[in-house]
Amino acid sequence: MSFAAVARAAGVSRAWLYRDPQLRAAIDRSRTGRRPSGPPLQRPVVEQASPESLRELRAALQTELNVLREENCRLRDALARTLGERRGTEATGQR
């Protein structure tokens, strides 16, 4: 089976399949019909984030959260004003 066919069937990109060594090996084996000769491939160990990195990420996320909260507040106020104006014009029969 080709990488394109596997990607299509699984709903993933071919690049994702190529990046995963175990999946790539399994697809290659299925294409050639042979078993691997060496030990099974292992996924690389994921590096842990440093405490400083985590602090920076938290600060960036907090800043973004504050910006989004302020924007949300402004949008709610604008919506309330617009709905209030619409009710006012509907009550007086104006369009």
Asked if 36 contacts 25 with a C-beta cutoff of 8 angstroms, the reply is yes
| Closest C-alpha among 36, 31, 40 to residue 4 | 31
What's the pLDDT score for residue 63? 95
**pTM check: above 0.95:** no
Higher per-residue confidence, 13 vs 36: 13
Centre a 10 Å sphere on the Cβ of residue 26 and count the other Cβ atoms it contains: 15
The Cα–Cα gap between 39 and 52 comes to 37
What's the pLDDT score for residue 55? 92
Higher per-residue confidence, 34 vs 2: 2
Cα 65-70-76 angle, rounded to 5 deg: 120
pLDDT in tens, 18-74: 888 888 888 888 877 655 566 666 655 566 778 888 899 999 999 999 999 999 999
User: Residue 76: pLDDT above 70?
Assistant: yes
The Cα–Cα gap between 71 and 77 comes to 10
